[in-house]
Structure 1
Amino acid sequence: MKNLPLHVKIIIGLVLGIGYAFLSSAVGWNEFTINYIDPFGQIFIRLLKFIAVPLVLFSIIDGVSSLNDTSSLGRMGLKTLGMYLVSTVTAITVGLLIVNFVDPGSHIDENQRVKNRISYELWAQDAGVEVKDGKNFLNDDQYKAIADDLIASGALEENQQSVEDKVAVAKQQKEEPPLQFVVDMVPENIILSISNNKLMLQVIFFAIFFGITLAVIPDEKGGPVKKFISSINEVFLRMVDTIMKAAPFFVFALLAGVVAKMANSPGEVFEIFKSLGSYTITVLVGLCAMLFGFYPFVARTFIKKLSYKKFFKKMSPAQFLAFSTSSSAATLPVTMECVEDNMGVSKNVSSFVLPIGATVNMDGTSLYLAIATVFLAQLHFVDLSLAQQLTIVLTATMGSIGTAAVPGASLVMLIIIMQTVGLNPAWVAIIFPVDRLLDMTRTVANITGDATVATLVASTEGELDMKD
């Protein structure tokens, strides 16, 4: 067991965790699992999160301050943002193509879809939202009886409290000026920014600014500070190594808790996935297209010695951890380790590209947002026009910049997109049951996209030393 690679141990922990959770739900141990096993999984996430911010801070300062030519920073920044933009738009486009082709929202009883549509039109009337697809089921004699029953029974979608909270957050974000995210990048108080994982962009801004300033200070004055920063960075990297030695156990606890919280019996878990099966499969197909198609293809095209097999072998520890934690930020320390030690990307590049990617590059999330929006529209017999779907591309691309790298943050962005194209934001409750599973999977795509871009940037900058 000691000689097994880390990623194999993590896989074993992951499988055992899921298997144990199903067993515990079958024999009635769920309460024990949630109370006494799941906390260790939460500790794991906390350990990774508390390391993430200082690691980003000191690694960026260390990397930027060591650049001999600070002008290369601007060039590297443009490449990074350009590549992230291309990968995000690609992910959204792939998502839209797949969801329109598969049409998962139509794979339910048509009478239920008719009821959903009438409920939507009633909601649109009440909310003052324009129905843009030209259909009018409320005034169609064919559906009059169904409409009357729905109106009489009051069977409209009720916003759950969790949905209401997310709608409120989404409304606040939607009303912000278009360049508010740029303003939000500049910290008012760096101490407060460091203490809040959601303000990672502010930490990155400060670190780059600090690093550039330190780089232009003569070595006789700036040298001791550089050595101190480098030493602190090494301490945090060693802490990551220490935590990762226990990762298989922590992953077991985390997955056991996640599955145990979903349902009280294996049958309930299967029913949850069965009811949303076509949607879940569509999202997974889209994510797999990015994971097993786009990323390795692009990497192989520009880096000839990086084979398909090597790509996944080098990135698998971070990918399995991302699946377990559902957090790009929590996985960041391990992503950096994989990219530097396995891919051969220099610390200068990885410490600059990856923290930015963990904050602004959300390929998996963007793909999910596109599919989820169209699926929910299909479920309610709403036809989204080409203009509306292009709006999804634009909104999801811009929104991914501000989506926090933590579990569940994408639901807020989904609400914003749905409001933008005239759909009922309360519908997000429909996909809540499977969101955790999909969140885990799309996080894998997020960090894989980050790693791919970091490797490509390093290759173009002559900062890639990949070993066989």
Structure 2
Amino acid sequence: MSQSSHKYSLTARIFIGMVAGIIIGALLQFIFDDSGDLRFSIFSVEVSTYGILVEGIFSTLGQIFISSLKMLVVPLVFVSLICGTSSLSEPSKLGRLGAKSIGLYILTTAIAVTLAIMGGLLVSPGEGLNLQSETTYVAKEAPSLSQVIVDMFPSNPINSMAEGNMLQIIVFAVLLGVAMAMTGDAGKRLAAFFEDVNTVIMRLVTIIMNLAPYGVFVLMAKLFATIGLETIGGLLWYFFLVLAVLVIHALVTYPVLLKVFSGMNPLILLQKMRDAALFAFSTSSSSATLPVTMETARNKLGIGKSVSSFTLPLGATINMDGTAIMQGVATVFIAQVYGVDLSLGDYVMVVLTATLASVGTAGVPGVGLIMLAMVLQQVNLPVEGIALIIGVDRLLDMTRTAVNITGDCTVATIIAKSEGDLDEAVFNDPDAGHQQEDVDFEHFDKNKESA
């Protein structure tokens, strides 16, 4: 039984779950109408099967899976950062890591939004399209840059953990780790404790990963049972343009940067990112995928603890290349729909605003739409235009999250190589990390009984 459960790799099992969920969801939408009633009179079912499956089983299990992933984020980031920073032999290394991480994240975001604008001008997805929407989008007020900097420092770190404020958690964990490194024997004893906690948390990540195929299945089934093809019908050019730029950024920009700055083989990185990318695609959340991203970086890519513990949580918080691509295309699209001609200076302003906003609004809920509202206001475009693209944003959000976490690992690999913290033997080993993927629950139960 154990051998059959491990017949397929984790990637294959997740992919099977995703495809099966899409098929089941599409079938449910074909059989049932928007109100949940059967489309065909040849069926006569008194009980609302649609409601039981979609709003009951699929919705409940999907939320449990997402909650299980999010459950790990705060303890994983907090403990990993403490372990990483407390092990730094030279304090100056922390400054270098921060400067390199933020610099590379800003560079990739600037490239992303530039590609998006160029694609939008080349394809012109909104020309001749007169879309009208009865819905309106009310933009939340974005905080000033100075307020964002102030908000990075927690007044109550326990409250920051309860609210999941990642920037505040990162700052507190880094400061605590540095203090432990400077405290001598007491700091070493505390560091040993956190190392043990980190080992247990990573094992918990492995257990959750084994449940991923089932979680992905219910998430995909619910999504494709509730989203209609007519939703994207009038926005096909916009939808596929954003999708194309996301793919180009992931398969061209990241590999080129990795090869230029580190000399490592980009194909190996892309191949080893499959599991994490599928997780990101199904959850649409870089933060929820963070445990899987960190497991991939350490065990499959050979990125050291000090780099992965700092760079990846920071990337999950501020690296928004996928969102920047959406902003670039959406800005051109909305301008064309409303018949507004943007100048070269306006497009330069879009690049600068979207790039800086990816860092400046990192801790704000609904950050993607808030950032887009900021960009539109900067070039005097109607914020109401966001309502035109909200309908298809859910599917695009899944793809851009996969792009974001690929960018996180690319930057982490480049930095680890430059800091001498990359195990190249692990990076080049195609089987590295596979032994951590699966927990043999049958063997585990037998050991428990014998004990």
TM tier, smaller: 0.7 to 0.9
Q: CA deviation at 1:38?
A: 2.1
Q: CA deviation at 1:177?
A: 3.2
SS state at 1:179 partner: helix
Candidates 4, 16, 41, aligned match of 2:20: 16
Q: In the alignment, does 2:369 pair up with 1:411?
A: yes
Moved over 4 A (4+): 402-408
Match of 1:192, as an amino acid? Answer: N
Structure 1 counterpart of 2:243? 284
User: In structure 1, what is the Cα distance between the partners aligned to 2:135 and 2:156?
Assistant: 36
Match of 2:87, as an amino acid? Answer: S
Structure 1 counterpart of 2:42? none
User: Against the structure 1 CA distance between its residues 293 and 257, is the aligned structure 2 distance closer, same or farther, given a 3 Å change threshold?
Assistant: same
Contact persistence 2:85–2:306 (CA under 8 A): yes
Q: In the alignment, does 2:401 pair up with 1:443?
A: yes
Structure 2 gaps of 5+ residues are 33-48, 430-451
TM-score, normalised by the number of residues in structure 2: 0.86
Deviations 1:339-367 (A, max 9, x none): 11111101111001000011111111111
Structure 2 counterpart of 1:315? 273
Contact persistence 1:328–1:405 (CA under 8 A): no
Structure 2 counterpart of 1:428? 386
Q: In angstroms, what is the RMSD of aligned CA positions?
A: 1.8
Structure 1 counterpart of 2:419? 461
User: In structure 2, what is the Cα distance between the partners aligned to 1:17 and 1:406?
Assistant: 32
Contact persistence 2:316–2:408 (CA under 8 A): yes
Structure 1 counterpart of 2:448? none
Contact persistence 2:258–2:264 (CA under 8 A): no
Q: Percent identity?
A: 42
Match of 2:223, as an amino acid? Answer: V
Candidates 10, 24, 38, aligned match of 1:6: 10
Structure 2 counterpart of 1:270? 229
Q: CA deviation at 1:301?
A: 3.2
Structure 1 counterpart of 2:286? 328
User: In structure 1, what is the Cα distance between the partners aligned to 2:174 and 2:365?
Assistant: 26
Match of 2:246, as an amino acid? Answer: L
Structure 1 gaps of 5+ residues are 117-156, 263-268
- Please give the residue correspondences for 1:84-233 in structure 2 after superposition, counting only pairs within 5 Å: 84-106=105-127, 108=129, 112=130, 158-160=134-136, 163-164=137-138, 167=139, 169=140, 172-173=141-142, 176-197=143-164, 199-218=165-184, 220-233=185-198
User: In structure 1, what is the Cα distance between the partners aligned to 2:286 and 2:345?
Assistant: 31
Q: CA deviation at 1:16?
A: 0.9
Structure 2 counterpart of 1:122? none
SS state at 1:381 partner: coil
Structure 2 counterpart of 1:249? 214
User: In structure 1, what is the Cα distance between the partners aligned to 2:295 and 2:315?
Assistant: 15
Structure 2 counterpart of 1:343? 301
TM-score, normalised by the number of residues in structure 1: 0.83
Aligned residue pair count = 405
Structure 1 counterpart of 2:204? 239
User: Against the structure 1 CA distance between its residues 290 and 370, is the aligned structure 2 distance closer, same or farther, given a 3 Å change threshold?
Assistant: same
Q: CA deviation at 1:402?
A: 4.2
Q: CA deviation at 1:158?
A: 4.9
Structure 1 counterpart of 2:435? none
